[in-house]
Structure 1
Amino acid sequence: MYLATTAIEEFWDKSQKIIFLGEWCKLYNRKKNWMTLAYKDIPFVWESADIKLNGIKYCDKVYEKALIQLTQILNTYNHINKDVHYYRIILGNWLICFIHQLYDKYLTLKSAFENYPDAQTWLLDEAKYYIPVDFNDFAQHFRDDKYALQLYSNILVAMGYDFKKKKLSKPIAQLLSYRLNFDLSPKRRLFDLMTRVLRSKSTIFHKRTITITDPYFSCYLPEYYLKLLFKSRFKFIFDDMKYKINLKFNIDQTMRKQELSLNGDEFESVLSKTLFSNIPILFVEGFAPFRDSVMRLPIHKSDAFFTANALHYDCIYKFYLAEHYKTITFLNQQHGGGYGIDFICIPEEYEKSIADRFYTAGWVKEAKTIPLAIQKFAQKRYSNCITSDMILFCISEMPRYVYKLDINTISSAYLSEHLSSIMTFLKHFLLRNKLLIRSSPHDNHYNWDTNERIAECFDDCFFDDFRKPFDQMLRKARIFITSNAHTTYLEALASNKPTVMFLPEKSYRFHPDAQPYFDRLQEVNILHKSPVTAAQHINAIYDDVDAWWQSNNVQEARAAFVEQYARSSPDWVNEWVKEFNRVVAKC
């Protein structure tokens, strides 16, 4: 029998009976090819929330051990003496994701060979391995079948398997340069010029300043920035960190053979043997030149730095923050739907491990979590006098391969838990001709082909073409529906748009503090655990939505939830100014 680990068919031995490692192997648009094969499927290893929770806790322990050893090795390699927190800022989010992805693949392979000990497979030749350049490059390739094949091959070799090795006909071309060149629109260039002029004014007239980067505004509008500038009397500095850096480097093959010395169990051994063949170039060969480049940039050293998104994807920001974190106050704001709500939210925990003050959309857990009105939710309330009969249904795919472990739906469970509930909803929904289905813009990268699957079963559905942004479509809708607990439902509830959610109980586990608020939403039919009851409810209230939505019970439940998890305010600018002035005054 042959074990197929990815959807790359040139790495399937079709002369044997195929064992598919997971649903990610079977692309919907290639079903004519694999449905005719004699095959079996390996059961999904993350079958319950408890199993996923235990996996997350285990990976967190491994992460802390690996980070300590990485600190020692990279300090020696780069001839510097930085502490663990320094590297937590620079590469912590990559290390978390890498460990989660590796652990998922390790457990899946282990399960496969426990069930089929005599199975054979083909490995990717090491000569065709790809090393990501930075975290962004890594985040682009984790969903790629070719990079997944590389990780599966990595793991099997580390586990001692000696299978036949092959080369890809079209391997990933290795990048040996790093270029940050931002092609800005004329309006954006003009605005950047203006902010640079105002930045110089701020540094001249104020000894205490705060730098704001990527603040998670609902859209790019200069008016938001200008309001904050004027209200703060130019004490705030806006720096998007879009500086030009061009580097070239060579792979240090000796360093790439380095191993960690984790020895707790077999997975720690696998991680020790595979980490340095996958760690991004910017953290090894490119570290010294990139660090030097960042330190020469004209970044003003404010007393405090604030962001919502830069901590994950902005390498310039991360390196600068790591260099100065001991002498500045770092402020971070939540930027997604799971913060404070999910039983465990990995990005939230990572950001809180670095931030001095962590701003939330209303909720409080520990001392550093501070509620602050979020501009993204501070939109004008939508009119109740909606003449459109359109129902906006937002769906969202999950990556085929695990990006990071999550207590909610991940990977193959998307089909069995999430998509199946969407199909059940549509089957019982009597108003499909009024439905506009809007997926996430990046969903086509995951190759689940959700829209095509829906269209094959229901020919009376319409799909959004993304010509208009989400907030415009939400404004036009009579009712908003979602099958996930991502950011869109927070925006809908905050703007008082009639909203119906259906979240299968098996797919979601909320934080104990959040559960009572979701229970109230369920009591008033905003939240449903069954797609059938959600469909039946909308069928019943569609002709007179306001009779339901404007009732006291519904509005009280909505308002209580929004105050805790999607807090907004028309006076958000003054709230920010007062809070940041307090922070800067204490610096």
Structure 2
Amino acid sequence: MLLVTTPIEKFWDAKKDILFLGEYCKHYSRKEYWQTLNFSTFHTIWSDSSKKKIYANYLNSIQEKTIEYLVEKLNEVHGTKFSKRYWRILLTPFLMHYIPNFFDKYIHILEVKKMFPHNLSTIILSEESFFDINLAEEFISEMVKDEWNLQITSQIIQKIGDIKICDIKKLERKDQKIGLMYELKCFLKNIITFLLMFILRKSSIRNFCQQLPLIQSFSLYFFSFFEFVPCKKIKIKKNKYLKNNMEMRSIFSSYKDVNDDKFCDILMQSFEKNFPLQFIEGFEYYFKKAKFLYGSKCPKVIIQDTSIYSDSLFAMWFAYCIEKGTKSIGFQHGGGYGDRLYNPSQNFELKVNDYYISWGWKKEGYNILPLPSPIIYIPQKKLIEVNNNKDIMLVGTVIPQHFIRYDCQPIDLQFLEYLNWELRFYQSISKEISSNFYIRTYPVDYNWNIKKRLLNNSVRVNSKKNFQEALLNCKIFVSDNLNTTFLYSLAINKPTILFWDQNLWESTSEALHYYSILEKAGIFHRNPESAALKINEIYYSVDLWWKSEEIQKARLLFVENYAKTSDCWERVWVKEIKNLIRY
């Protein structure tokens, strides 16, 4: 039996019986080919709901253990005395994805090995084709790629042994080429951003909310009487001359877990190759670069949302400022916050910020400011009545094929069940109105070929308009996932129908209370058939239904806790933040 761990067909042998490690190994675009093979697919461990919670808690404990160890060792390597909070800010965006990604491959390979203890073989990637992660932000894009995951599985198979390696192959890595115009555009943006920050370097409050449109950032700037200075991240070229220094990386090879946890040992050993150069060999270089670009003078307050994920240099500067006494205010930048049972991003952001701006929810033990969200806010002048449009728009989502973190959403094969729910919904809509139904697919596909799957089942797909325009112009908005788009819909008072599998999209007990209120009102449904029946019932009198007292009461109660907005959000923000930083 040949264990196939990648969709890269160079690492298959069509002459042998094949066991695919996961659904991600079979790209839908190659279905006609792999269907001709003699194969089976190993089912994901994540389908067992009882194990999901155990694994989620385990991964969280491993992350904390890893941070504890690295705080001491990295300070030792660099001759520094930075706090645990400093290193948490730098390391977590990498660790919160790397550890679950590595664990997913590790545990599935172990389970397969138990099923086939004697006759299992595989083809792995040559170490000559392994590549380094330079800046931590690179890993966010690399972790969803097949090449990276092949590197991970190859390393794990070599470490655990007992699986026959029948071949080792090289793989030529194709680096993405950056066009000259793009580089010029980035250069000009960097110059403007750098000059702006230099001129305003003495400002005490800096706003690094990257998800806020520029117009909203400057609106906040004016309403604060020029105190909340809008700032943007600076894009840099990575230092290509950095190479692995095995002497410095001996902190990983010498690790021995005190509880004899073999996974921890193999995980730490994998860092010898996979740990970002930024934190070891390039630490001094990038640290100086960050202080030069963002300024050695620390502001009194930093407001930020996603920059600690997407900008490795900003994260270094931000952590440095925190060490020097800067107060940080985090800002919720999307849905799934406050209502998901597990949300690693939320947990991280709450831990590293002194205060946190939510869209309405609170959490005991943290300094949370429930303020109106400018992200889902749409000005009243745009909220026109749509009388003639007949469209029913379902906005779908997508999950990377490779497991990146446990986040209360479909995993691997479960995503196909999610897509099947969309088809069940479409098939349950009455024929006389189904021609008005379409699905707006997510702009990124991750090799699921969602559009083709839907079109093959006669479902209309339309993603031409931008989201806000499409939302404003549809008759009924439908959401089948616990992400951001339905918060827009409820916030602007658009007729909305919700449905999703609550075993996959798990919510906190507090959020379940509000979803039950939406369910009683007929807005939320536990399955696609029930949601479709509601559409059939209300379609021709949707405004009468939606504007009823019962519906509006349920909507407003939910919005107040998870999708708060205001026409004067700038005034509210300025007042609350200024009151906060006085003390």
Q: 1:34 maps to which residue?
A: 34
Q: 2:377 maps to which residue?
A: 378
Q: 1:99 maps to which residue?
A: 99
Give per-residue Cα distances to partners, 1:85-128, cap 9 Å, x unaligned. Answer: 21111111211211111111111111111111221111111111
Residues 1:477 and 2:469 are matched in the alignment? no
1:32 partner amino acid: E
Q: 1:148 maps to which residue?
A: 149
Displacement of 1:182 after TM fit?
7.3
After TM superposition, list the pairs within 5 Å mapping 1:103-182 onto structure 2. 103-117=103-117, 118-161=119-162, 163-171=165-173
2:268 partner amino acid: S
Displacement of 1:542 after TM fit?
1.1
Q: Tell me: CA distance 1:427–1:349, structure 2 relative to 1, closer, same or farther (3 Å).
A: same
Give per-residue Cα distances to partners, 1:113-163, cap 9 Å, x unaligned. Answer: 111122111111111112222233211111111111111111112213452
Q: 1:354 aligns with which of 348, 352, 355?
A: 352
Residues 1:325 and 2:312 are matched in the alignment? no
Residues 1:294 and 2:323 are matched in the alignment? no
RMSD: 2.4
CA contact 1:122–1:166 (8 Å) conserved in 2: yes
Q: 1:183 maps to which residue?
A: 185
Q: 1:247 maps to which residue?
A: 239
Q: 1:509 maps to which residue?
A: 506
Residues 1:211 and 2:206 are matched in the alignment? yes
Name the stretch that deviates more: 559-568 or 499-508: 499-508
2:196 and 2:84 mapped to 1: Cα distance?
Answer: 35
After TM superposition, list the pairs within 5 Å mapping 1:59-74 onto structure 2. 59-74=59-74
Q: Tell me: CA distance 1:19–1:154, structure 2 relative to 1, closer, same or farther (3 Å).
A: same
CA contact 1:132–1:281 (8 Å) conserved in 2: yes
Q: Tell me: CA distance 1:425–1:541, structure 2 relative to 1, closer, same or farther (3 Å).
A: same
Q: 1:334 maps to which residue?
A: 332
1:310 partner amino acid: S
Q: 2:407 maps to which residue?
A: 406
1:579 partner amino acid: E
CA contact 2:123–2:169 (8 Å) conserved in 1: no
CA contact 1:474–1:492 (8 Å) conserved in 2: yes
Give per-residue Cα distances to partners, 1:439-483, cap 9 Å, x unaligned. Answer: 1112x2x1111111111111xx332244x3211110111111111
Q: Tell me: CA distance 1:17–1:262, structure 2 relative to 1, closer, same or farther (3 Å).
A: same
After TM superposition, list the pairs within 5 Å mapping 1:515-534 onto structure 2. 515-534=512-531
Q: 2:423 maps to which residue?
A: 423
SS at match of 2:14: coil
1:556 and 1:83 mapped to 2: Cα distance?
Answer: 47
Q: Tell me: CA distance 1:23–1:403, structure 2 relative to 1, closer, same or farther (3 Å).
A: same
Q: Tell me: CA distance 1:243–1:163, structure 2 relative to 1, closer, same or farther (3 Å).
A: closer
Q: 1:316 aligns with which of 277, 294, 313?
A: 313
Displacement of 1:173 after TM fit?
5.2
Displacement of 1:538 after TM fit?
0.8
Q: 1:305 aligns with which of 302, 315, 323?
A: 302
CA contact 1:131–1:174 (8 Å) conserved in 2: no
Residues 1:492 and 2:489 are matched in the alignment? yes
Q: Tell me: CA distance 1:32–1:84, structure 2 relative to 1, closer, same or farther (3 Å).
A: same
Q: 2:342 maps to which residue?
A: 344
Displacement of 1:245 after TM fit?
5.6
CA contact 1:500–1:534 (8 Å) conserved in 2: yes
Identity among equivalent pairs (%) = 27
CA contact 2:209–2:331 (8 Å) conserved in 1: no
Q: How many residues align?
A: 566
1:197 and 1:99 mapped to 2: Cα distance?
Answer: 38
Q: 1:261 maps to which residue?
A: 256
What are structure 2's unaligned runs of at least 5 residues? none
Residues 1:274 and 2:275 are matched in the alignment? no
1:213 and 1:295 mapped to 2: Cα distance?
Answer: 16
1:440 partner amino acid: Y
1:138 and 1:185 mapped to 2: Cα distance?
Answer: 23
Q: Tell me: CA distance 1:94–1:189, structure 2 relative to 1, closer, same or farther (3 Å).
A: closer
Q: Tell me: CA distance 1:253–1:16, structure 2 relative to 1, closer, same or farther (3 Å).
A: farther
Residues 1:17 and 2:12 are matched in the alignment? no
Name the stretch that deviates more: 245-254 or 489-498: 245-254
Give per-residue Cα distances to partners, 1:393-444, cap 9 Å, x unaligned. Answer: 111111111011123312221013x1111111121123332123211112x2
Give per-residue Cα distances to partners, 1:285-343, cap 9 Å, x unaligned. Answer: 22110101112225352101001211211212210111121311011011121100001
Q: Tell me: CA distance 1:126–1:164, structure 2 relative to 1, closer, same or farther (3 Å).
A: farther
2:185 partner amino acid: D
2:493 and 2:48 mapped to 1: Cα distance?
Answer: 34
SS at match of 1:332: strand
2:467 and 2:448 mapped to 1: Cα distance?
Answer: 22
CA contact 2:299–2:321 (8 Å) conserved in 1: no
Residues 1:585 and 2:577 are matched in the alignment? no
Q: Tell me: CA distance 1:184–1:291, structure 2 relative to 1, closer, same or farther (3 Å).
A: closer
CA contact 1:210–1:236 (8 Å) conserved in 2: yes
Residues 1:227 and 2:219 are matched in the alignment? yes
CA contact 1:199–1:238 (8 Å) conserved in 2: no
CA contact 1:360–1:372 (8 Å) conserved in 2: yes
Q: Tell me: CA distance 1:232–1:463, structure 2 relative to 1, closer, same or farther (3 Å).
A: same
- TM-score, structure 2 length as denominator? 0.92
